[in-house]
Amino acid sequence: MDGKKPGKNLSDIQEINRALVLKNLRNNPNCSRSQIARNTGLQQATITKIVNDFIDSGIVIETKLLKNERGRRSIGLALNAEHYMVIGVRLTRSHIYVGLYDIAGKEYNLIRESINISEGAEEAIKRMNRVIHYMLDTAGNEYILGIGVGLPGPFLKEEGIIAVMADFPGWEGYSIRLGLEEEFGKIIYTVHDAYANGLAEWWFGNKREESKILLSVSMEEGLGAGLINNGKIYYGTQGIAGEIGHISIDYQGLPCVCGNRGCLRNYCTKAAVVRQAMEGLEQHPESALNRLPDIRLESIVQAALEGDTFSADLIRQAGTFLGYGLINAIYAYNPDMIVLSREFAQAGDLYLNAVKEVLQARLLPIIYNELRIEFSKLTHDPVLMGAVALVTDFIFMNPSYIVKLGDGQKKKQASETTEKVSSIM
């Protein structure tokens, strides 16, 4: 994508070594210079130079005195995650969310603005930019590394700098990335919300050590998945890899907007379960759902947990249907971990066991036994966090960006000091 040639020059090697040291510090907080040398195989002098640059830029700090096994003392080093911030943006059909995060994913501020997508791109973008400017002013523009933006699917097409959203009237052809680059002059990443979910799980759900191929399934509006291969999003040719909502579980099943029949999204999303509840009410006059003014997924889950048999059957059935779809996804992608978004998390084991039972019954034991499946444990909006993770990932791969930022800050501080001195004189 960046058009780089395969040859490596000295500056490229310096960048690779810097990235290696930074990654080492991320994975081993409070380690010493000599420990990094041992872990990376780099010479001590190289480590010293790299660490000094990082300390100057503010991204690394010296921590406490460490004692090694031979009793010798050395100084610990750690990432200074709060020094630089990333802005996360999420666009949905009803709202814009703008959050401020440090590079460890800690949330410092979150603003939500209502939008009306039928007003077109211009009005919504104007509002979004206003909130981002506010965040930049609050955090200090020079400490913001970049802006990551999560956008709704399913057919977000991303080709370099272009992001097109076909189902937003008046937004066709509008490049959010270009618009933001022009307005803010920062690193801008745009990402499909289902992919952002997966990336957030891998980076901030502590899956880095546990999972090589992670499939995160989100069921908020439609049904989508993000496939993360060793920390990188797998996009496919057009950026529709992971659209598991359109995996068919019945070739003669319900017709879908995509033209296929029996698509998974018509059987086990929030909307599908609510529809099934409405359709079945008449046959289940005993169900507590008959006494509710309106039926939402939350109320079905609640009734199920309180012993309503019809509701419990619906929740289990949703888990079973998802299981049928996941089997196809598992054979296509062979993940070692599947993380489910939190829509059905309230139902706990009632739902999760239904999913697992199908997988256990229908997958080869050698596949099932190597697979973990669980609900997401992330507490903040994973789409925002995933968008932030894309920017953070860029920084970790290209640390010279941060070293240059640090140089800029030093120059600015020096010129401010000169100004102060000259104003005193």
List residues near Zn ion by CB under 5 A.
246, 256, 258, 260, 263
Smallest separation (angstroms) from Zn ion to the CB of 277: 22
Residue among 260 and 400 whose Cβ is closer to Zn ion: 260
- Report the nearest approach of Zn ion to the CB of residue 263 (Å): 3
What is the Cα–Cα distance from 377 to 326, expressed in whole angstroms?
20
Which CB, 260 or 398, lies closer to Zn ion? 260
Cβ within 8 Å of residue 113, ≥6 positions away: 95, 96, 97, 98, 127, 128, 131
Exposed, middle or buried, 52 (CB in 10 Å: 0-12/13-18/19+)?
Answer: exposed
Write the burial class of residue 252 (CB in 10 Å: 0-12 exposed, 13-18 middle, 19+ buried).
exposed
In whole angstroms, give the CA distance from residue 279 to residue 374. Answer: 30
CB of 236 to Zn ion, least distance (A): 16
- Smallest distance from Zn ion to CB 276, Å: 18
294 phi/psi in degrees, rounded to 5: -145, 155
- Minimum CB–partner distance for residue 373 and Zn ion (Å): 23
Between 198 and 245, name the residue whose CB sits nearer to Zn ion.
245
Q: How far is the CB of 386 from Zn ion (least distance, A)?
A: 24
Compute the least distance from the CB of residue 357 to Zn ion, in Å: 25
What residues have CB less than 8 Å from 378, skipping those under 6 apart? Answer: 200, 201, 204, 205, 385
3-state secondary structure at position 406: helix
Q: What share of the chain is helix, strand, coil (3-state, %, to 5)?
A: 50, 20, 30
- Cβ atoms 89, 147 nearer than 8 A: yes
CB of 260 to Zn ion, least distance (A): 5
Helix (H) or strand (E) holding 275: helix 270-280
User: Closest distance between Zn ion and the C-beta of residue 164, in Å?
Assistant: 20
> Toward Zn ion, which CB reaches closer, 112 or 261?
261
Among residues 180 and 264, whose Cβ is nearest to Zn ion? 264
Nearer to Zn ion, 244 or 385 (CB): 244
> 51 vs 329, which CB is nearer to Zn ion?
329
Copy the structure tokens of residue 109.
Answer: 């501020």
CB-CB contact of 256 with 263 (8 Å)? yes
d(CA 383, CA 376): 12
Distance CA 301, CA 315 (A): 7
Between residues 19 and 256, which has the closer beta carbon with respect to Zn ion?
Answer: 256
Q: How far is the CB of 194 from Zn ion (least distance, A)?
A: 15
Cα→Cα distances 203→23, 49, 246, 388, Å: 12, 28, 27, 10
**Count of other CB atoms within 10 angstroms of residue 313:** 15
Pairing of strands 187-192, 213-218: unpaired
Q: Is the peptide bond before 399 cis (omega within 30 degrees of 0)?
A: no
Closer residue to Zn ion, CB minimum distance, 84 or 267: 267
Least distance from C-beta 219 to Zn ion, angstroms?
15
Q: Is the CB of 225 or the CB of 228 nearer to Zn ion?
A: 225
Residue with Cβ nearer Zn ion (92 or 260): 260
